C-alpha cells in the first residue's frame, strides 16, 4: 500500500509538473505572439474561435469570441478602438492570432494579392466530404477548377437563369398560391430555399423541378432532393465532429447519415442522367462544364481533367453556394420590404414605370429594373451570407492605414498570422456607408463604394457565380413585388411589441454554415390592380 501510495503521489507530481510547464509554455507563446504584432489592441481569449471548443461556447469575455462574433458585433469593436484593424489572440489549444480587418484599402490589397495572402485551407476541410472542390483550393489547383467552371457563367447562362427564375415564380403563383387571398409562410426559408434550389437545379444542372414534384419522394429514395441537401448543409458539423460508428446513436445523427447518403445518390444519378443524354443543345450549363473535364476520354492539349470525387465535390459546393446563400438573401430582402412598406411601394412603382403594360419582364429589362437590384444588394450588405473571409500571411509584411483621428499608423504582420476580412465590420462601417443600420436601397442607385461591398468576396478569388445570383435576385424580387404585397405575420403572442421589437425579432439571424434567419414569418397578399 505504501509503494502504491508513493507511486500515485509521484505520478501526480509528474502530471502536475508537466501541466505547469505546458501552461507556462502556452503563456510564453501567447506573449511572443502579442509582441510580434506589437500588442495591437483587440480581443484576448483563452479559447481560439477556430477551435472546436471555441465554436461550442457562446461569445464569452476572456473565454472565447464564439463563432458568431463578427455578425453580433459588426463595426462596434473597431469603432471602440478607433481603428479598422484589431487583433484576436488566444492561448489554447495553442497560441493563435488573427487580425480582424474592416478597412477598404487593406482588404483590397489582400484580395488582389495572389501569393501573399492565401486561403487557409485547413479551415475549410468541412466542405470536402464529397470531394475536393473550387472553394477548398489554392494556387494551381484553384486555377484548374476556375478554368473548368468559368465558361458556364456566361451571358447565355444569365439569360437561362432569368428565364428559369421567371418560370419557377409563375409556377408558384399558378399552382401553389392560385386562388388564395392570403398566403402565410411561417418561416421564410420554407419558401426561399425551394425557389433558390429550383433555379440552381434548372439553370446550373439541367434539373428542373416543379412545385408539385418537390413534395414527392422519388422511387428508390427516402428523402426528397431538397430535404437531403438542406439536412446536409445544416448538419455538416455533425459529420465533421461525430465518428462514423456513432452516426447511428441518435435520431438526428441517423437522419444526417441518411441525408449524406441520399444526396450522394442524387448527385450520382444527376451525373449518369446527363452522361446518357444525347441532347447537345442544352449542354452549356455548369454540369456540362464539369462533366466535360471528367471521364476516361483522351483530352486534347490545354483541356483539364476532374477526378470522379472532384466532380461530385464541385457539384455539391455549387449546389450549396448557389442555393442556401441566395435563399437566405431572399428571406432578409422579403423581411426588409415587409418592415418598410414605403420602400416596398417605391419598388412597386419603379417596376410599373419600367413595365407599364404589366408584361412579364425579360433579361433585357434587368438594367432598367435598378430598384430590384438595389433592394437585393442592400439586403446583402445588411445580412452578408458569409461573415468572415479567412486569409493568412505568407510573408512578413505591414499594412498602413489611418485611425479615427486621421493619424497614419503601421500594422506589423508576421509570416503565418491569420487575417480575417470582417464583412459585417466593413458593411456597417460608417466611413463607407452612411447610416449603415438603416435599410436604404437607394444607396445602390447612385455612386457607391464597390470595394466596401463584400458579399461575394472580391479580387481574384471573387465568386464566379456572382452574376448568376444577381440575375436571380433581380428576377425573383421583380416578379414577386409586381404581383404580391409582403407583410410580417401578426401573431397573438407578440401583440404588444413595438416596431423596434418586431424588427429585432424577425431579423434575428445566426451564422451556421451561412448567415440565416432564426424564424421569419411572412404573409403574401395579391395586389389589387
Annotated binding site for heme: 463
Comparing CA positions, the residue from 104, 201, 101, 115 lying closest to residue 160 is 201
Question: How far apart are the C-alpha atoms of 60 and 371, rounded to whole Å?
Answer: 41
Comparing CA positions, the residue from 148, 201, 153, 166 lying closest to residue 467 is 153
Most distant pair of Cα atoms in the chain: their distance? 98
For residue 101, list its beta bridge partners: 85, 421
Instruction: Give 403's contacts (C-beta < 8 A, 6+ positions apart).
Output: 82, 83, 409
Comparing CA positions, the residue from 247, 255, 199 lying closest to residue 230 is 255
Question: How far apart are the C-alpha atoms of 295 and 439, rounded to whole Å?
Answer: 49
Comparing CA positions, the residue from 123, 249, 163 lying closest to residue 476 is 163
DSSP state of 60: B
Tell me if 419 sits within 8 A of 413, measured CB to CB: yes
Tell me if 428 sits within 8 A of 329, measured CB to CB: no
Question: How far apart are the C-alpha atoms of 261 and 235, rounded to whole Å?
Answer: 13
Instruction: Give 63's contacts (C-beta < 8 A, 6+ positions apart).
Output: 45, 46, 47, 57
> For the purposes of burial, counting CB atoms within 10 Å of the CB of 153, is it exposed (0-12), middle (13-18) or buried (19 or more)?
buried
Tell me if 226 sits within 8 A of 194, measured CB to CB: yes
For residue 457, list its beta bridge partners: 455
Question: How far apart are the C-alpha atoms of 511 and 72, rounded to whole Å?
Answer: 9
Q: Quick check: bond before 334 cis, omega within 30? A: no
Per DSSP (E only), the strands in 132-216 are 183-185
Annotated binding-site positions: 463
Instruction: Give 55's contacts (C-beta < 8 A, 6+ positions apart).
Output: 49, 66, 67, 237
Q: Output the CA angle 368-371-375, nearest 5 degrees.
A: 140
Amino acid at each position: 500500500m505504501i509503494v502504491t501510495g508513493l507511486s500515485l503521489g509521484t505520478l501526480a507530481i509528474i502530471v502536475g509538473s508537466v501541466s505547469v510547464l505546458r501552461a507556462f509554455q502556452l503563456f510564453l507563446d501567447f506573449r511572443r505572439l502579442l509582441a510580434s504584432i506589437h500588442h495591437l489592441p483587440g480581443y484576448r481569449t483563452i479559447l481560439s474561435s477556430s477551435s472546436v471548443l471555441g465554436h461550442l461556447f457562446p461569445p464569452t469575455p476572456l473565454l472565447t469570441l464564439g463563432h458568431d462574433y463578427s455578425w453580433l458585433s459588426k463595426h462596434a469593436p473597431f469603432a471602440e478602438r478607433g481603428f479598422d484593424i484589431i487583433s484576436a489572440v488566444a492561448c489554447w489549444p495553442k497560441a493563435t492570432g488573427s487580425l480582424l480587418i474592416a478597412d477598404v484599402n487593406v482588404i483590397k490589397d489582400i484580395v488582389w494579392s495572389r501569393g501573399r495572402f492565401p486561403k487557409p485551407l485547413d479551415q475549410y476541410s468541412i466542405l470536402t466530404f464529397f470531394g475536393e472542390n473550387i472553394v477548398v483550393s489554392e494556387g494551381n489547383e484553384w486555377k484548374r477548377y476556375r478554368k473548368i467552371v468559368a465558361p458556364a457563367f456566361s451571358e447565355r447562362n444569365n439569360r437561362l437563369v432569368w428565364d428559369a427564375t421567371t418560370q419557377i415564380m409563375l409556377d408558384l403563383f399558378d399552382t401553389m398560391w392560385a386562388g388564395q387571398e392570403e398566403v402565410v409562410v411561417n418561416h421564410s426559408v420554407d419558401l426561399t430555399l425551394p425557389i433558390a434550389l429550383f433555379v440552381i437545379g434548372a439553370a446550373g444542372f439541367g434539373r428542373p423541378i416543379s412545385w408539385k414534384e418537390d413534395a414527392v419522394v422519388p422511387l428508390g429514395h427516402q428523402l426528397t432532393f431538397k430535404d437531403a441537401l438542406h439536412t446536409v448543409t445544416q448538419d455538416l458539423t455533425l459529420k465533421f465532429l461525430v465518428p462514423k460508428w456513432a452516426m447511428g446513436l441518435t435520431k438526428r445523427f441517423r437522419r444526417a447519415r441518411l441525408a449524406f447518403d441520399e444526396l450522394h445518390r442524387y448527385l450520382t444519378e444527376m451525373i449518369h442522367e446527363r452522361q446518357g443524354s444525347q441532347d447537345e443543345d442544352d449542354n452549356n450549363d455548369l454540369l456540362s462544364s464539369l462533366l466535360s473535364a471528367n471521364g476516361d476520354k483522351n483530352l486534347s492539349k490545354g483541356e483539364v481533367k476532374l477526378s470522379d470525387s472532384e466532380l461530385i465535390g464541385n457539384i455539391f459546393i455549387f449546389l450549396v453556394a448557389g442555393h442556401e446563400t441566395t435563399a437566405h438573401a431572399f428571406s432578409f430582402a422579403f423581411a426588409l420590404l415587409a418592415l418598410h412598406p414605403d420602400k416596398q411601394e417605391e419598388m412597386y412603382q419603379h417596376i410599373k414605370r419600367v413595365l407599364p403594360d404589366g408584361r412579364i419582364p425579360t433579361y433585357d429589362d434587368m438594367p432598367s429594373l435598378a430598384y430590384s437590384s438595389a433592394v437585393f444588394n442592400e439586403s446583402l450588405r445588411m445580412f452578408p451570407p458569409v461573415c468572415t473571409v479567412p486569409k493568412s500571411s505568407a510573408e512578413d509584411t505591414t499594412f498602413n492605414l489611418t485611425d479615427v483621428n486621421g493619424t497614419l499608423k503601421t500594422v506589423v504582420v508576421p509570416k503565418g498570422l491569420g487575417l480575417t476580412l470582417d464583412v459585417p465590420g466593413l458593411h456597417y462601417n460608417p466611413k463607407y456607408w452612411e447610416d449603415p443600420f438603416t435599410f436604404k436601397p437607394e444607396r445602390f442607385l447612385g455612386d457607391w463604394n464597390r470595394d466596401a461591398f463584400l458579399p461575394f468576396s472580391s479580387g481574384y478569388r471573387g465568386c464566379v457565380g456572382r452574376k448568376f445570383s444577381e440575375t436571380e435576385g433581380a428576377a425573383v424580387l421583380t416578379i414577386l413585388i409586381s404581383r404580391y404585397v409582403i407583410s410580417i405575420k401578426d401573431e397573438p403572442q407578440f401583440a404588444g411589441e413595438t416596431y423596434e421589437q418586431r424588427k429585432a425579432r424577425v431579423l434575428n439571424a445566426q451564422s451556421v454554415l451561412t448567415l440565416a434567419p432564426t424564424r421569419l414569418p411572412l404573409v403574401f397578399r395579391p395586389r389589387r390592380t
